[in-house]
């Protein structure tokens, strides 16, 4: 197939490009050339879809499908979809489960209500507070232009893997590699749903090759690891002497420790977040999503980091991780509490 990948230089896009080339497809990337090098073997086009003029490089080109792994501004995605509707019969968009409005239910599936979105809305791609609204607007831009049968909407959850551009799993690996007592949050048996970027990419390409339209939660069909196994896998992969100190969530909150931001991937056990551990992946599994053992992802992310891999976050992305000073303060407070 002849594929056009919007972006294609960072994390999900980069992995999709690599997978597509490995399958023998002809890949053209379209980006501004700002976030990284294009993968060897692609035809690289430069442009900026924030304006109509910025899409001129695509005039007259024909593709079998478009893959858009990182669109955030609805108007940009709408402009892209309209520009390509006559020259590419299928459009695959990687969205996020953050588009769902309610997370206090036992299960979240594709029928769960989403936040409202506007297909032609402009916005700041670094405005993460509006991400759920903007991603839903991007979905609508694709759906309204292509129709439901000629587009794929893959709603990913938390993504891990080599070339990570967020840094959640890399933070845990780097911290455990330092050794010593490591602050660990809540119940070690708390389930997590994490997808490897390579499994997500393979799923997207499978659907593109089949020209199979639809909306899928691209997540494992149920928890595929726990917080305890995640930390344990990190200790094992790094070969460190790190010892996790599991603290109850009430204590962590009393110390001002922030879930997700300071302790990445920690989802508190409160009613408002119950659905974050129970996103249905049934539809994607039925469509062919296959997921590797999570411990394999941890080992290979560590290998990537050791070989010189570096987390390169997008502009405006807040950093993840607890500072060393604050961790020591919380550990000292925990020790005092137990005496």
Give residue 249's domain range.
168-192+224-275+293-338
Do 205 and 310 lie in a common domain? no
At residue 111, what are phi and psi to the nearest 5 degrees?
-90, -5
CATH number of the domain bearing residue 320: 3.90.25
167, pLDDT greater than 80: yes
- pLDDT confidence of residue 293: 97
Do 68 and 104 lie in a common domain? yes
CATH number of the domain bearing residue 143: 3.40.50.720
Residue 17 makes CB contacts below 8 A (sequence gap 6+) with 5, 8, 27, 29, 38, 39, 42
Q: How confident is the model at residue 125 (pLDDT cuts 50, 70, 90)?
A: confident
Higher-confidence residue of 302 and 274: namely 302
This model's pTM is above 0.85 = yes
Q: Hey, how many other C-beta atoms are within 10 angstroms of the C-beta on 335? A: 11
Q: Is 280 contained in some domain?
A: no
Helix (H, G, I), strand (E, B) or coil at 40: coil
Do 103 and 130 lie in a common domain? yes
Q: Is 146 contained in some domain?
A: yes
Q: Is 120 contained in some domain?
A: yes
Do 251 and 131 lie in a common domain? no
Instruction: List pLDDT tens digits, range 28-69.
Output: 999 998 888 999 999 999 999 999 999 999 999 999 999 999
Residue with tokens 């053209």: 28
Residue 22 makes CB contacts below 8 A (sequence gap 6+) with none
Provide the strand spans (E) within 7-105.
Answer: 26-31, 43-46, 65-68, 91-96
Closest Cα partner for 140 from 86, 74, 96? 74
Instruction: List pLDDT tens digits, range 172-186.
Output: 999 999 999 999 999
Q: Is 105 contained in some domain?
A: yes
- pLDDT confidence of residue 278: 79
- pLDDT confidence of residue 339: 59
Q: Is 153 contained in some domain?
A: yes
Report whether 151 contacts 211 (CB < 8 A): no
Percent residues over pLDDT 70 in the chain? 99
Do 176 and 206 lie in a common domain? no
Do 64 and 206 lie in a common domain? yes
Structure tokens at 116: 């409202």
Query: Helices in the chain by DSSP H: which ranges?
Result: 11-22, 74-84, 131-146, 168-178, 197-210, 227-238, 249-254, 282-286, 294-306, 324-338
Q: Is 284 contained in some domain?
A: no
As for how many domains the chain has, the answer is 2
Q: Is 279 exposed, middle or buried (0-12, 13-18, 19+ CB in 10 A)?
A: buried
Q: What is the mean pLDDT of residues 186-212?
A: 96
225, pLDDT greater than 80: yes
Instruction: List pLDDT tens digits, range 67-112.
Output: 999 999 999 999 999 999 999 999 999 999 999 998 887 789 999 9
Report whether 151 contacts 91 (CB < 8 A): yes
Do 235 and 299 lie in a common domain? yes
- pLDDT confidence of residue 338: 60
Do 183 and 39 lie in a common domain? no
Do 41 and 133 lie in a common domain? yes
- Residue 143 CA to residue 150 CA, distance in Å, equals 8
Q: Is 287 contained in some domain?
A: no
- Point out which residues pair with 108 in neighbouring strands: 279
Half-sphere exposure for 45 (CA within 13 Å, toward CB) = 18
Q: What is the rounded average pLDDT for all residues in the chain?
A: 94
Q: Is 288 contained in some domain?
A: no
């Amino acid at each position: 197939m002849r594929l056009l990948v919007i972006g294609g230089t960072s994390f999900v896009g980069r992995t999709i490009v690599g997978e597509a080339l490995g399958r023998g497809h002809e890949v053209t990337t379209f980006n501004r050339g700002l976030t990284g090098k294009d993968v060897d073997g692609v035809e690289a086009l430069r442009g900026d879809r924030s304006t109509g003029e910025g899409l001129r490089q695509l005039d007259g080109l024909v593709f079998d499908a478009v893959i858009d792994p990182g669109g955030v501004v609805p108007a940009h995605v709408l402009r892209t979809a309209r520009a390509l509707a006559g020259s590419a019969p299928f459009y695959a968009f990687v969205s996020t489960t953050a588009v769902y409005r309610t997370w206090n239910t036992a299960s979240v599936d594709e029928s769960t209500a989403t936040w409202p979105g506007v297909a032609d809305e402009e916005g700041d791609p670094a405005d993460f507070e509006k991400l759920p609204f903007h991603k839903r607007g991007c979905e609508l831009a694709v759906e309204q232009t292509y129709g439901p049968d000629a587009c794929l909407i893959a709603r990913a959850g938390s993504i891990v893997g080599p070339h990570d551009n967020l840094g959640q799993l890399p933070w845990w690996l780097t911290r455990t590699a330092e050794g010593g007592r490591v602050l660990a949050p809540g119940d070690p048996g708390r389930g997590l749903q994490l997808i490897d970027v390579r499994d997500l990419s393979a799923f997207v390409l499978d659907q593109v090759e089949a020209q199979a339209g639809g909306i899928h939660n691209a997540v494992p069909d149920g928890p595929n690891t726990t917080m305890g196994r995640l930390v344990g896998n990190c200790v094992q992969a790094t070969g460190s002497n790190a010892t996790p100190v599991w603290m109850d969530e009430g204590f962590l909150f009393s110390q001002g420790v922030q879930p997700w931001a300071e302790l990445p991937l920690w989802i508190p056990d409160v009613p408002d977040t119950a659905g974050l551990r129970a996103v249905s992946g049934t539809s994607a599994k039925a469509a062919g999503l296959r997921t590797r053992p999570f411990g394999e992802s941890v080992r290979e992310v560590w290998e990537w980091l050791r070989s010189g891999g570096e987390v390169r976050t997008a502009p405006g992305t807040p950093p993840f991780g607890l500072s060393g000073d604050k961790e020591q303060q919380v550990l000292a407070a925990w020790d005092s509490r137990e005496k």
